[in-house]
Amino acid sequence: MAQWPKSKLLPIFVFLVFISLTVTVAVVVVILKPWAKSSHTTSSQSYVTVTTKYGDIRGLTYKISQEENLDVFFGVPFAQPPVGEHRFAAPRPVEPWSPEVKNATRYGNVCLQQNTREYNMTSVSEDCLYLNIYSPRHRVSNTKQPSTEPLPVMLYIHGGSFRDGSSIYFNYTNLALKGVVVVTTNYRLDAIGFLSTQDDVIPGNFGLLDTKLALEFVKEVISSFRGDPQDITMFGASAGSALVTQMALSPLTRGKFQKAILQSGPGTAYWSSYKPGSPNVPREVALDLGRKLDCQITPSETDRNQSLALLACLRDVTAQDLIAQIHNLTVEDYRSFMSVYSHPTQVEDYRSFMSVYSHPTQVEDYRSFMSVYSHPTQVEDYRSFMSVYSHPTQVEDYRSFMSVYSHPTQVEDYRSFMSVYSHPTQVEDYRSFMSVYSHPTQVEDYRSFMSVYSHPTQVEDYRSFMSVYSHPTQVEDYRSFMSIYSHPTQVEDYRSFMSVYSHPTQVEDYRSFMSVYSHPKQVEDYRSFMSVYSHPTQVEDYRSFMSVYSHPTQVEDYRSFMSVYSHPTQVEDYRSFMSVYSHPTQVEDYRSFMSVYSHPTQVEDYRSFMSVYSHPTQVEDYRSFMSVYSHPTQVEDYRSFMSVYSQPTQVEDYRSFMSVYSHPTQVEDYRSFISVYSHPTQVEDYRSFMSVYSHPTQVKDYRSFMSVYSHPTQVKDYRSFMSVYSHPTQVKDYRSFMSVYSHPTQVEDYRSFMSVYSHPTQVEDYRSFMSVYSHPTQVEDYRSFMSVYSHPTQVKDYRSFMSVYSHPTQVEDYRSFMSVYSHPTQVEDYRSFMSVYSHPTQVEDYRSFMSVYSHPTQVEDYRSFMSIYSHPTQVEDYRSFMSVYSHPTQVEDYRSFMSVYSHPTQVEDYRSFMSVYSHPTQVEDYRSDIIFVPVSGDAFGFLPQSPRELAANSTSLIPIPTIFGWSTNDSSWTIDDPGDKGENYDIFLAFVRFLISVLYPSQQQVMFQKALELYNLTDPSQLSPYDVRSIDALLRTDLYMESFIVKEARQFSRAAAPTEAARGKAKTFVYQFDYRPSYKKNPRWQGVTHMDERGMVLGLPNGPDPFTYPVTNQDDHTVGELMTTMWSNFAKYNDPTPEPLSSGVKWPEFGHKSSDQNVLLIRPEPRVKRFDRDEPVVFWTGSSGLDD
């Protein structure tokens, strides 16, 4: 065969190479074209380096246009690799890498998972805790300078049923180009991320903790990427949305992000919770996994030893084998990483936990614990519990305890308990009890008790007792006693004492006691104690003390103590202690104590002191004292002192004084005094007086007085008086009076009064007044009042006043009010009120209510309220509010509610919500703060209301179900019934109003112009954004894609009329878009690639961004643009007081920075079984106490 000459072969070879290269380039272009189109990038790129606290990071810069560049950083580590001994452990923050420059030009590893083919993932590893950052660079208009304004930040958590998925699956170029910094992150998945033995050995929640650490890392470094760390929006789809829900609920992340977008998974769905009683118990799933992997687990071992053996085995198994053996792993209840404000991190055998702002970290065999607002529900041998801010750690057979606001419900060997608003009724061997505001009713051998406003009347061997506002006077062998506002009078061998709402009953040589919600258990020679509102009277070598809500547990010769949030741990002969937030540590023979927030530090033989609610009784020439928050330390002949936040400074021979809960004992010519926060300084012949819990005993010309627990009985010209539990009955010209929990009944022209800690002295026509624990009953025009620590002095027609630490100031005809522990009973136009420990039950037009620890039960038209520490200031018809620790349970037209970190479980028409420490201030018809707008059964299926029921009476919990409508079943959370007009139209209006006002205010004129054409109108002033004609016109614009979004909605929108309820304002609307109904019937949906079997789109249909599915048609492209615009506008919207679009119309305060969490809920309509209302559902935040 003839051979070709080499000179001729070379050109042919070159030609073939050229053709091959051409084809290769063409293929690459075809492959990359969709991504390039969706991300709007070009081939122009360069490198960029930024500096963070951890070191420099090198990324890529893409030139988008002449005005825009996009910096991208892929594979930025935010945690150390969770491998080896750190498998099944909380993530550890990444260590600084400086002076190295971290290369962030390629994606990091994907977390281990079974389903890697669908996502075409190749680099899969346990070392996967990386995130990606998209940072746009915009230039200032008409200049060449880049903008320096920080941009809103959006942190995305991917979905995938907690088993699969990755941050690299989403390209957020288009979203970032809307003017936000976008971050996407990984988190551990499947068994590696969520396996749990339901104890501290493998507690679970590692994937959730990963997202928390990613958020913290972003908050630390994002300013280096032009992001605003004070304006972060978290968003996620499916499981990622559920994780975002937990972050929004968790106080651990409170303040770390400002807004949230929930896409197809609000965290309350059936698939994101473990129901107690389910056969798939997390611990059993973990043990079954160990058996599959041949782990040696001895059945006879203790649970803890089994867990330790399992952990050791699983850490030796390869990660691939571990993942391969997990099938159908259920979501366990131990997916909570957070209780109220805190959680344990390193706790041995820590089986339950949560304290407020504090927690133990190393506790051996800590079998139970409890935080405020939460409780355990299934506890075997529940021997220990948790009070507010404190807990016991080593307690043998701890059979009774008391927590504030919480209690266990199913407990074996539960011998005593009581929470707020609840009490045990059948208790065997119930020897001790005390809850706040409650009491047991069936108790064998009932030797002690204490409830607010209540007491036992038939008690055998009744040796101790005390209720608030009452006390026993004839008691045999009365060895212990003391409640608030009371004292023992005939006591032999007074060795014990009584704290607020609690006391011991059988104590030999009463060396220990109990403060509020807490007590020490092991104390040697505990001879003294101090509770709130009380003090010891005969104490030898007063070496110990007790603050509110806390106690030490192992103290030798109890010389030290612990206050709220702090305590000394190593103190030799520590005879005194520390109040709230502070304490002395080195004090020689420190026999006194410390008040709240302050204390003396250098005091020689300081034998007297004053803490909150206490005082010394044996003091040589007691010329000085101590009030709360302040005290003198070196005072010569200190005859006067300081009240709370105030004191007299220039007083001649100021021999008397009064601090909180204390008094002088030897006073000549006691003409002046001081109440808390106020006092007279120059008073001639001071005939009236009142201090809190104190009084002078030797006073010349004693014309007026008031002490706690005592009063004068023979007084000439007795014009004023007040004692606790008592009052004068025969008084000439009795114009003023008031005691704690008492009041005058026959008063002529009742113009003045006296409150605890304060009183008015010069008041013209003082028509009403109120002290703490008291009220007037027959008062003309009862429009004013007085709360704790304050009062009005010159008030004409005082219609509103002050609650505890708060009050409304500008309220038209403010007929409701709130005092601490009191209320009026006969008041014209009784629209307000209720005090602590009591409430009205049958009130016509009851517009305001709720005090601390109380609630109404049968109330018609429950429209307003006021809690402690919060209040409305400018509210017309304030229909919803929030009380502290309480809620109504059977309320018609229930428009407002919310207790602290808790919620009602069986409530008809649950329409609003509100937590403590927050309130609306400028609200017209404000029925809710954050308005959840659930649509589907799995989203909020635990609510027993249908959309029609919800919409009929309120807009506070608005179901914006499918305003597109495809169901005729009223319980399906849809509203396509043509007969549904009024209530459903309210819902629809609220939705459209949100879009117009927040997202597309520019469309207002387009909407108006279209309406003019449709309805042949000439004057735009005839229209408003709420006008049904405007809404109808809006639906006809391209913006709302009428062809497949609002087709059925328009059926009722034309005929219905807007209602007052629909115009209610709210800070945040939580609404949905839903595109599921027609995807099987409509050809335009055939290109959708990532739908589950129920037809649920995970987040959005296949628009170009924020998800990078192929674009199949223009409608999908429009949807993608709409979504990214909505997303970015939501993240960027921070105006707390947006301008109204027309006169008299105010728009919602959407997404402003002062709000704790603002939520945008994107919820499809899956077909799922709804929960039975009586079936408890534990959220991931199991320790948050949110049931059902």
Q: Express each pLDDT in 1073-1110 by its tens digit.
A: 333 323 333 333 222 222 222 222 222 332 223 333 33
1149 vs 1133: CA distance, rounded Å: 9
Q: Are strands 130-138 and 181-185 parallel, antiparallel or unpaired?
A: antiparallel
Structure tokens at 637: 């002949």
CA distance to 633, 1033, 1036, 1175, per residue, from 1014 (Å): 81, 7, 10, 51
Instruction: List pLDDT tens digits, range 1018-1030.
Output: 887 777 654 556 6
Task: Give the model's pLDDT for residue 414.
Answer: 27
Other Cβ atoms within 10 Å of 642 Cβ, number: 22
Count the helix, strand and coil residues of the chain and give each as a percent rounded to the nearest 5: 20, 15, 70
DSSP secondary structure letters along 402-424: --TT---SEETT--B---TT---
Instruction: List pLDDT tens digits, range 876-906.
Output: 222 233 232 233 332 222 223 222 222 322 2
Highest mean predicted confidence (pLDDT) among 90-99, 254-263, 325-334 = 90-99
- Top pLDDT among 707 and 421 is at 707
Phi, psi of 48 (to 5 degrees): -140, 145
- Top pLDDT among 628 and 983 is at 983
Whether 298 shows a pLDDT value over 50: the answer reads yes
Task: Give the model's pLDDT for residue 734.
Answer: 27
Note the Cα 951 to chain centre separation in Å.
Answer: 26
Q: How confident is the model at residue 315 (pLDDT cuts 50, 70, 90)?
A: very high
Task: Give the model's pLDDT for residue 286.
Answer: 87
Average model confidence (pLDDT) across the chain: 45
800 vs 809: CA distance, rounded Å: 7
Q: How confident is the model at residue 269 (pLDDT cuts 50, 70, 90)?
A: low
Residues 799 and 751: beta-carbon distance below 8 Å: no
Q: Which residue has 């014990």 as its token pair?
A: 496
Average pLDDT over every residue of 83-108: 95
1147 vs 376: CA distance, rounded Å: 42
Taking the CA atoms of residue 672, residue 678, residue 681 and residue 683 in that order, the dihedral angle to the nearest 10 degrees is -50
Degrees, nearest 5: CA angle 387-393-399 = 65
Task: Give the model's pLDDT for residue 148.
Answer: 77
Task: Give the model's pLDDT for residue 270.
Answer: 52
Whether 1033 shows a pLDDT value over 50: the answer reads yes
Highest mean predicted confidence (pLDDT) among 115-129, 179-193, 731-745 = 179-193
Q: How confident is the model at residue 110 (pLDDT cuts 50, 70, 90)?
A: very high
Task: Give the model's pLDDT for residue 251.
Answer: 62
- Top pLDDT among 194 and 22 is at 194
Q: Are strands 68-77 and 56-63 parallel, antiparallel or unpaired?
A: antiparallel
Task: Give the model's pLDDT for residue 623.
Answer: 28
Whether 443 shows a pLDDT value over 60: the answer reads no
Task: Give the model's pLDDT for residue 313.
Answer: 95
Average pLDDT over every residue of 215-221: 97
Structure tokens at 618: 């044996």
- Top pLDDT among 97 and 843 is at 97
In three-state secondary structure terms, 107 is coil
534 vs 499: CA distance, rounded Å: 7
Whether 17 shows a pLDDT value over 50: the answer reads yes
Q: What ranges make up the beta strands (E) of 16-163?
A: 45-51, 56-63, 68-77, 101-103, 110-111, 124-125, 130-138, 151-157
Q: How confident is the model at residue 1176 (pLDDT cuts 50, 70, 90)?
A: very low
CA terminus-to-terminus distance, the chain:
88
Q: How confident is the model at residue 264 (pLDDT cuts 50, 70, 90)?
A: low
Note the Cα 490 to chain centre separation in Å.
Answer: 46
Residues 488 and 471: beta-carbon distance below 8 Å: yes
Whether 254 shows a pLDDT value over 90: the answer reads no
Phi, psi of 138 (to 5 degrees): -105, 145
Task: Give the model's pLDDT for residue 636.
Answer: 27
823 vs 854: CA distance, rounded Å: 12
Residues 786 and 771: beta-carbon distance below 8 Å: yes
Task: Give the model's pLDDT for residue 94.
Answer: 97
Task: Give the model's pLDDT for residue 246.
Answer: 72
Q: How confident is the model at residue 175 (pLDDT cuts 50, 70, 90)?
A: confident
Note the Cα 299 to chain centre separation in Å.
Answer: 41
Instruction: List pLDDT tens digits, range 536-568.
Output: 222 222 223 333 223 333 322 222 332 222 233
Q: How confident is the model at residue 220 (pLDDT cuts 50, 70, 90)?
A: very high
Q: How confident is the model at residue 104 (pLDDT cuts 50, 70, 90)?
A: very high
Q: How confident is the model at residue 1133 (pLDDT cuts 50, 70, 90)?
A: low
Q: How confident is the model at residue 1161 (pLDDT cuts 50, 70, 90)?
A: very low
Residues 6+ apart with CB under 8 A from 863: 846, 847, 848, 877, 878, 879, 880, 895, 896
Residues 151 and 97: beta-carbon distance below 8 Å: no
Q: How confident is the model at residue 1011 (pLDDT cuts 50, 70, 90)?
A: confident
Instruction: List pLDDT tens digits, range 616-652.
Output: 322 222 223 333 223 333 222 222 333 322 333 322 2
923 vs 294: CA distance, rounded Å: 63
358 vs 584: CA distance, rounded Å: 20
Of 171, 182, 178, 341, which is closest to residue 261 (Cα–Cα)? 182
Q: Which of 165-169, 222-226, 485-489 has the lowest mean pLDDT?
A: 485-489
Task: Give the model's pLDDT for residue 128.
Answer: 96
Whether 59 shows a pLDDT value over 90: the answer reads yes
Task: Give the model's pLDDT for residue 839.
Answer: 32
Whether 77 shows a pLDDT value over 70: the answer reads yes
Whether 178 shows a pLDDT value over 50: the answer reads yes
Whether 941 shows a pLDDT value over 90: the answer reads no
Whether 309 shows a pLDDT value over 90: the answer reads yes
Other Cβ atoms within 10 Å of 340 Cβ, number: 24
Residue-wise over 556-594: b if at least 16 C-beta within 10 A, else e?
A: ebbbbbbbbbebbeebeebbbbbbbebbbeebeebbbbb
In three-state secondary structure terms, 25 is helix
Average pLDDT over every residue of 133-152: 73
Average pLDDT over every residue of 646-669: 30
Residues 808 and 873: beta-carbon distance below 8 Å: yes
- Top pLDDT among 175 and 839 is at 175
Phi, psi of 291 (to 5 degrees): -65, -40
Structure tokens at 885: 């620790």
Average pLDDT over every residue of 799-826: 29
1071 vs 1086: CA distance, rounded Å: 26
Phi, psi of 192 (to 5 degrees): -65, -30
CA distance to 102, 342, 354, 928, per residue, from 251 (Å): 33, 7, 12, 21
455 vs 503: CA distance, rounded Å: 13
Task: Give the model's pLDDT for residue 768.
Answer: 33
Residues paired with 534 in a beta bridge: none
Whether 477 shows a pLDDT value over 70: the answer reads no
Task: Give the model's pLDDT for residue 108.
Answer: 92
- Top pLDDT among 249 and 134 is at 134
Please report, as a single letter, which amino acid is at residue 479: R
Whether 167 shows a pLDDT value over 50: the answer reads yes
Taking only Cα atoms into account, the Rg of the chain, rounded to an integer number of angstroms, comes to 34
732: left (phi over 0), alpha (psi -120 to 50) or beta: beta
- What are the start-end ranges of the H helices in 670-728? none
Of 484, 356, 341, 502, which is closest to residue 416 (Cα–Cα)? 502
Of 672, 645, 643, 642, which is closest to residue 656 (Cα–Cα)? 672
Q: Are strands 124-125 and 101-103 parallel, antiparallel or unpaired?
A: unpaired
Whether 335 shows a pLDDT value over 70: the answer reads no
Highest mean predicted confidence (pLDDT) among 117-131, 597-611, 1000-1014, 1050-1064 = 117-131
Instruction: List pLDDT tens digits, range 502-536.
Output: 333 322 222 233 232 233 332 222 223 323 223 32
Degrees, nearest 5: CA angle 289-295-296 = 135
Structure tokens at 820: 């601490």
Judge residue 277's burial from the number of C-beta atoms within 10 Å of its C-beta, 0-12 exposed, 13-18 middle, 19 or more buried: exposed
Task: Give the model's pLDDT for residue 256.
Answer: 86
- Top pLDDT among 429 and 53 is at 53
- Top pLDDT among 1000 and 415 is at 1000
Structure tokens at 892: 């018609």
- Top pLDDT among 532 and 282 is at 282
- Top pLDDT among 449 and 1134 is at 1134
**Number of residues assigned to the chain:** 1188
Structure tokens at 935: 């649509």
Whether 712 shows a pLDDT value over 70: the answer reads no
DSSP secondary structure letters along 250-313: -GGGBTTB-EEEEES--S-SGGG-B-TT-S--HHHHHHHHHHHTT----TTS-HHHHHHHHHHH
Task: Give the model's pLDDT for residue 103.
Answer: 96
Residues paired with 860 in a beta bridge: 892
Task: Give the model's pLDDT for residue 533.
Answer: 25
CA distance to 363, 1045, 1047, per residue, from 966 (Å): 56, 11, 10
Task: Give the model's pLDDT for residue 271.
Answer: 62
